[in-house]
Amino acid sequence: MSDETPDEPKKKSKAMLFGILGALVLGGAGGFATYSGMIALPFGGGDRAIEQVIESSGEPDIAYVQLDPLTVDLGRGGRSGRLRLSLIVETTEDDFDIVDARRYRITDTLQSFLRAVKQDDLRDPSRTDMLRSRILRRVLLETPPGAVSDVLISEFVVL
């Protein structure tokens, strides 16, 4: 027979559970401390990564170009509808005038693109990121390289 009493396996499993839980908590805390930069990595690159974070915090001043609201008819056949879209283009203060001067070309390109988009794609919330990336691509084509960093959607209404 075994020397263990019926309570000993339960005690061992509880001890193992607490040990695993403690290891997970400590591992998560260490991972967070390393990720956030509180702890430097022992194999190098940690100081360089911290310097890059400090340098990137001194980024150029961000400027925003508000485009005129776009209203596009989506009518094809018996199904008609409209899209009302307001966009803000993120740029730097140095490139603000360049992007602002091209706002009408950007609007024209987006009008043409949005007329070709299917109404079902606009009504599906999971397609918003895809649509936003395609809008950004068209804005990037109309502006000099590096002048635009992002496009923000401030209004998106399908009527």
**Cα–Cα distance, 136 to 129 (Å, whole number):** 10
Find the domain containing 48 and state its range: 7-57
Q: Both 43 and 115 in a single domain?
A: no
35 compared with 69, residue with greater pLDDT: 69
Using one digit for the tens of pLDDT, what is the confidence trace for 107-143? Answer: 999 998 988 888 777 778 888 888 889 999 999 999 9
Q: Both 128 and 73 in a single domain?
A: yes
Residue ranges in the chain assigned as alpha helix (H) = 7-36, 46-57, 96-101, 103-116, 119-123, 128-142
113 compared with 159, residue with greater pLDDT: 113
Average pLDDT estimate for 82-96: 91
Is residue 15 situated within a structural domain?
yes
Using one digit for the tens of pLDDT, what is the confidence trace for 1-60? Answer: 555 566 666 777 888 888 888 888 888 877 776 666 666 555 544 444 444 444 445 566
CB atoms near residue 125 (< 10 Å)? 7
Q: Both 83 and 124 in a single domain?
A: yes
- 67 confidence band (pLDDT: 50, 70, 90): very high
Q: Both 79 and 32 in a single domain?
A: no
2 compared with 95, residue with greater pLDDT: 95
**Cα–Cα distance, 103 to 83 (Å, whole number):** 19
> Could you tell me the CA-to-CA distances from 22 to 12, 17, 37, 63 in Å, in that order?
15, 9, 22, 47
Is residue 1 situated within a structural domain?
no
Its pTM surpasses 0.75: no
Domain count, the chain: 2
